A and B are shown apart, each in its own frame.
Chain A
Amino acid sequence: MRRVVGIDVGGTFTDLLLYETEADTGRVALAKIPTTIANQAKGVLAAIDATGTSASAIDLIIHGTTATTNAVLERKLAKVGLITTRGFRDTLEVGRRTRPKPYGMTGTFEPLVPRDLRLEVAERMNAQGEVVIPLDETELRAAIERLKGLGCEALVIHFLHSYANPAHEQAAGRIALQMWPNAYVTMGHALLSEFREYERGTTASVNAAVQPVLDRYVRLLQTELEKKSFGRDLLVMNGNGGTVSARLVAREAAKTIMSGPASGVMAAAETLRQSGVANAITYDMGGTSTDVALIHGGVPEVSSELTIDYGLPIHVPMVDVRTVGAGGGSIASINAAGMLQVGPQSAGSEPGPICYARGGEAPTITDANLVLGRLDPKRLHAVKNPVSVEHVRAIFEAKLAKPLGLSVEAAAAAVIRLANAHMSGAIRMVSLSRGYDPRDFSLFAFGGAGPLHAVALARELGIPEVLVPARPGLTNALGCLVADLRQDFVNTLNVPLDQADISEVQRILNDQRARGMAVNAAEQNEIVETIVLHGADMQFRGQTHLIRVNLPSADVSREEIQKIFETAYFNRFQVHLPEIRAVLVNLVTSVVGKRRTFPISALLDASDRASALDSAIIGERKLYAGGAWHTATIFDRAKLPLEARFAGPAVIQQIDATTVVEPGASVLVDKVGNLRITVGSASE
């Protein structure tokens, strides 16, 4: 018997998936409990208890945590000191000449390390990595002492051009580690060896600021688990969609930021793979935000240029998840010009939509779904002191329908339609900015509200098919269960390709590979196969935007690189530029330790499935779509037989989500249990 647990701690819920295998049979257990904000470990243990399995019987736990993301967003961070090159104390504070929004002259920014904790020392490298001014070690020691004296818990050493030559940072790091009371010393080049001093320095500072937070949390969790006699491996999710051993995770703590959304995308990629779908846009709509990502050729798109908050870029490779809008709590209103608007204001989760009965009085997308029968009115009774549908309708009547001269239904439908129009615009921008046409993709819908809107949204986008996974509300935990061990490396060269020292290129790629293999070696028993992916970020001389190309091996030749780049550039922009030189900017390597696969079909218990489709029907209700009321068949998701087909209007209910199948759309339950919805067109 082998038991593997994926557990994701989100902002609201802690989700768990347990997979038990013996010989060739498998069993899945689920748990969903409220997150214990003050001490997340408590919730983790409670979730394990909820499965009825003891921690001592578990072989492996893969854990996704929001500890670091929340710490940054709420600025609950360790006190960090920074030592930098003379003349560059303010790099983190001046940034790169921006403002929070294109229009509006207001907004504030506080750097993670305040100016009085940023000290300068004499040292300087030039862009070629040659020493211009040697490191003044006496000054360095004094600076370290001073920051210790000021009560800093973590230290950043960030020198100019350290990506070209890290010798000064390494020397300073050695001295700092002898003097610093703990191991929380981050060197700028160690996390990413990439040029651009503001982005690299900010990334290093974020790392230092969350390192103690994550380290304390992971130690606490391990101690608590040991008390329950758990003695096996604990892996932690990273934002690149891979995992790393808990023993190593704190060293590069910044990499765990945004790991929650990343694990959702990893779950999507594996689910799609087992359904035989290669290209999809993931669409995760919750109560407060909507995130999207692209999966192309089975591989989630990755970016090294994400920003978690204004002025806080984190340049480590992460699954490229973008927040494109608000969630179900978005408020509908009418502006001074009499135009209907949805968002940007949101009711959030407090007070939340009117139907949550927590005092919300503003009509939201969720309320519109209720008015239209898309959400089950009976579920209102799940809350304390529920409001009635009539109460929600009365507010829609007064605030939207009457001023617009519409019926209540038409006003509610307009709210959803306009929200979808905005959402589809934002999704188009995300895919177009990466050079893709969304119409070549499927829409993978998850999160509490994703499946509710996906069919209508897909129609808006011209996407032919929607895929709804078995457990739309447990996707992050599934991501933990299916994630591989993954290490990513970036080194900046920034030289014209025809001047590059190819033996040095090959040496760097081989070194990146070796470093990745060394980290993964700690978990060798989890890995069934290791895949090494090499690539390069390139551009034509004079350009600033980069194109990522895949390289066939570490021992690639100059001619091969040139040809690969020219082909990639043409494919993206349809332009040949033979007269302009190519520049090799970054070398990148990913070392992926593939773990045993998890059968997606196990997510739904086969014994629950009905033998005939009719037995999965649990009723019918009125559903407003295309300007008229329809009678929609209600299905119980758990009972749907594999390979079943049926047509909309229909609603598929399950504990964690509701899927609306609009009139004109049709559903196939595929062989692994995913809903494949051909969206068709609205029959008006």
Chain B
Amino acid sequence: MSLREINVRGRSVQLYESGSGNPLLYLHGIADMHGLAPDNCAFHDFVAEKHHVIAPAMPGCVGSDEDNSLESIDDLRFHTLEVMDELKIEKIDILGNCVGGWLAAEIAVHNPERVGKLVLIGASGLFVSGEQIGDLFMAVQPLNGRIDDVRHMLFADGDGSLAEEWIPDQLSGKEQGMLRYKTFRCVARFGFKPPYFYDQKLVERLYRFKSKALVVWGSNDTFVPRSHATAYAEGFPNASVELIDGCGHAVLLEAPDVVAEKVLAFLS
């Protein structure tokens, strides 16, 4: 495992790398490595047993520089292509979790030539009428000093110890408080204003990605409802869905081994 910083057009980007084997570009989400934790999680270790995992932190997250010009998912897509260019990656399998899944889907439809296989886990990005993506920003605003709402939005068991560990009420030390703030500052740039964490036209463009796609979803996801999994799977010409029972949006934290098994089977 290595943690290093690379320079991408004048900005520093923190990069996590681990494992060997077929390379896999990992685009992180919120309750995830780089999002709410500085380190990798069990899921990443499972995947790194078979793959060379390359995971850049989004602008402003952990050690990556902020980018004040970041305003839309398209800006983030270009940034990610620049990271790939810097790493001399022509074409690669991509796994995207949460907002990283949206990013991965955008890259897949705009730049299908650069994507091998695609895995989306609880990906935002689509508009499904009547099935709105949750208001993460309101949910994380303290209610009577507690942020239960965001724990319930991201975890199937919002009162459980896993949720509490990842999203404590009190800022348990400055490091975690800063990490959380940085991540919300980053995702607010493209997700706070409409379209709220989605791209209205993305669903009609999914047909452009002809390679194999796997869509993994926690069956109880209340941030990005599971109907979005179906919409992704129907939009891609060559996709399959794996629903993980009893899990929420943070499915790869809740069932790292189960998700890793599905992902590894798909990628192999």
- Same complex for A and B? Answer no
Instruction: State the B residues within 8 Å of A (CB).
Output: none
Instruction: State the A residues within 8 Å of B (CB).
Output: none
